[in-house]
Structure 1
């Protein structure tokens, strides 16, 4: 298949791109490199572009005929979204609508959308199923849920097939250490802990008064390669079934921030000093996925089943690439 990957030079996008190519697909990455790295996609056909610019999207659709689009491109920092709501809604919704319009115009009928568990907000019940009510507590989560609804209307009106994949916390790196996480600034707990262990600094632990066994918030960590495999399964489902689907993608149980810290200490062999600081606004006590639907419908299941196995791959990446992709950010 010919597949257009928006945001394909980012963390999850680049690893999905790598797996698609290994599986024999032809990929084209469309990215403005605001958060992505050109070197993360090697010799992949690359189009610099911004989804807010219709001429950039049209250029991409004029260059190739696509069987499907995988849509990663988004702004994705919850706290930043509360400070810059217009920027998030403009990028995540308007940019997405532009993409859907050109998909329809050029008769591309399949999209896999990178969504998030942030659409649920504070869950009523754990583990979280796809039937959980939508109560996003950040502009980021709101923008993702709003675009889910827009996709759902496009599936009805324009007969586009969509797989909406609600990620929990992506983590880890390719086991060979060739691709991994390189956010600037970094906001994710596992790379921050690893970098703290390697540098000998102190870690700020956001809150120790949550309603959890050890007082720190609990999250579901899913290996990035397992996420990438889910995209392949979702593409296959769309092409074979000609119908849409929405699923959670998580490991299926949660780990507390203190458990993540202790496991990182075990993997790195280094003690990580930490200081408890104020909670971050909008952090639920616990959230982890019920992944039954993804297992049943997509015939998918996570291969990295433990936190330690996930952190080990991340540690190899960060230890061997202390500056990420050689300061390739532009």
Structure 2
């Protein structure tokens, strides 16, 4: 039976410990609870837990001091937690789009949500599995289409949390890798709203891996850099030092760079990167529509266009692109 613990730091008392006390305690600790056990000191497992400083043994506890009291090891008589005194926001990175790459912690946060504020690139299919179903608010930013300003997204998160609701901000990839999660965090903090983060599998690593491209490879590449291609190198809004990127001798991963890829390639070549450097663009990573285009740096933009590479896509530039041998599929 799943334990519903009202947040990290909740005080939980386990009474009448039995044969499952170790499992119960570890489950509670995984949830961030502080655990006391009411016991006379004769239970060997409880003594071991106390010796490892996982629990505190109390003889005559004040039951009103606890958020949850478990009356038996089977959890059949669990008392309900106290009602929440306010809402909160959880920033959940959903990974590159394949529901299998959503973390267990992210899925649990969705199950506990009153409202989900989601992007179009999150694995939205998992929302249909939620019971009861939370309110779903779509705030996707579709290229050349529907667009919810970031400022409005911040307002929605704060408004919903201040209404006492458990809010999940659900987006693709990782919230803190070009996901504007930092802005959402600051908006919550400025408004006095509790906010936590559940990391997601970032597409900067996942997309190449799903295409069979390692970002590092022993004796070939010893590091990688991730840059935004949202604006071209000659755009005054660009803060990327493309000369430094070209001189790193590391794998270069470009996110949000489909439209600017030709100018990015030109800039890297102009700053000394070999135009024959292997490159690959991966679109819709992890989805049935995944597509991969490969070619030398100087031609990758054209090859990607011919292969119908469209956002969302990740481009990888470096010798690690050609580091792995192709698999023999056994087909003729």
The structure with the largest alpha-carbon Rg is: 2
